[in-house]
Amino acid sequence: MLGGAVKPGDVLGGKYAVERVLGAGGMGVVVAAKHVDLGQRVAIKFMLAEAMTDPAHAERFLREARSAVRLKSAHAARVLDVGRLGNGEPFMVMEYLEGRDLDAELQARGPLPPHVAIDYVLQVSEALAEAHGLGMIHRDVKLKNLFLTASVDGRPLVKVLDFGLAKTIGPHGDVSLTATSSVFGSPQYMSPEQMRSAKDVDSRSDVWSLGVCLYELLTGRVPFDAPSVAEICAMVLKEPAPPPSQHMRGLSVELDDVVLKCLEKDLSRRFQSVAELAFALQAFTTDEGAARRILHVMRSAQEIAHAPPKVVVNDAEELATSGATTMKARDSGAPTRRADERLMRPQHIGAFVGIALMGFVGAGGITMAVTTRAARPAESAPSPSPSPSPAASSSAERREASPAPSSRSTKEPPPSSATEEPAGPAAKAAKTTPAGGRPKPSAPGRPASPPPAKATATATASTVRTPPEKPKTGPGSGGDYM
């Protein structure tokens, strides 16, 4: 029996078969289990009935589990599922890890070489950087919550456990808070501000605790230790930490300074983030990109935490809404914002300027041609004729404004007769008859045919229906700008 709650062989949540106990404390039990359908081995932590007397503990248990799910770092233990037992006790399903925590590693190996200890601390810093960026404070960083396992390629991999979980005060000899209590953390690792008020701490409290872990990995002992919790608290609040080199010869003064800055009681003199600590440790490790990676993780998490929530709607509703908006914009003649953005692109602005210049040059050329021809005296008419009608004048100006082909365009095909000659007899009469109704003098040796009735009206109507001439594309016509 595991505290009267579960036993080997029990199936939790209808899918996790309990195998054996991995650990137990005053608040709960951790067991190894296997998914009955997938065969996946997991670790399940659940609260004991004694800890359920205060509903706040169960709520905090599930709230912290939901927070841990947000962590994506490879150095944070993954939370896979949460649920409740038949009696209402909550449980948390986590990834199963093979290895041991750093406290057991230290007991087995003794003080670690500086480069190994620093490498472990940098791995922990990466997990804390993401948590801090998301606004989560661990409040119980200690060697027992840092688990040493192996990555896929066999390299040592440190994972952080128990984000934000409350611990209890245990018997003499283990002053971890493993009984139900409102105090968070372990006294040897707690910062001065956390001892005063656990609710008012920020990420710099975890920096203190991480400095204690580094101190312990280098020397084999914590900087503040005493037989009782009260004595430990008094030392943390009042006494300065001794340099690590005082307990372990061979440690450099520069490394002493880094560790002692983590343990500054004045918050303003302490490292302000795990990223700043990582840059200070960069000189003592061969992983040159560790500090920048940790800084990037922290900033990325901060962007995620401050990003506005994404609203997910039904695909059909989204398509219908976007389609209705687009149709409304087109019906009203107002461009959409995407169209405005395309119009404001530099290459499009340049194209518009080029078209405008081409139109300006073309219009100027037409005006100069009309002015030049208008200034020449009429050679074919013996005397000034009455002013032509506006429609006939417009037709004549269009024909005259067309520039004559130059010597370079001799191979260009002649323009279509449909463009130069109006169709029908009436149109031919209109071409040889001025607007005043007088017949135009014919060429010598060719009798002039009398004008048909209503020639002026026919010419005007024919001119209006004549389609505009096609633009020339030869040299000098403006086509080389297109």
Q: How far, in Å, CA of 5 to CA of 291, rounded?
A: 45
Would you list the domain boundaries of the chain?
Answer: 1-96, 100-306
More confident residue, 4 or 66: 66
Q: CATH number of the domain at 1-96, please? A: 3.30.200.20
Q: Give pLDDT, residue 242.
A: 96
Query: 10, 37, 81, 140: which one is catalytic?
Result: 140
Q: CATH number of the domain at 100-306, please? A: 1.10.510.10
Residue 140: active-site member: yes
Q: Give pLDDT, residue 365.
A: 52
pTM exceeding 0.75: no
Q: Which of 3-7, 20-24, 430-434 has the lowest mean pLDDT?
A: 430-434
Average pLDDT over residues 156-167: 75
pLDDT, one tens digit per residue, over 317-372 is 443 444 443 333 334 344 444 444 444 445 555 555 566 556 555 555 545 544 44
Q: How confident is the model at residue 198 (pLDDT cuts 50, 70, 90)?
A: confident
Q: Give pLDDT, residue 150.
A: 96
**Residue 147 reports pLDDT greater than 90:** yes
Most confidently predicted of 279-293, 356-370, 382-396:
279-293
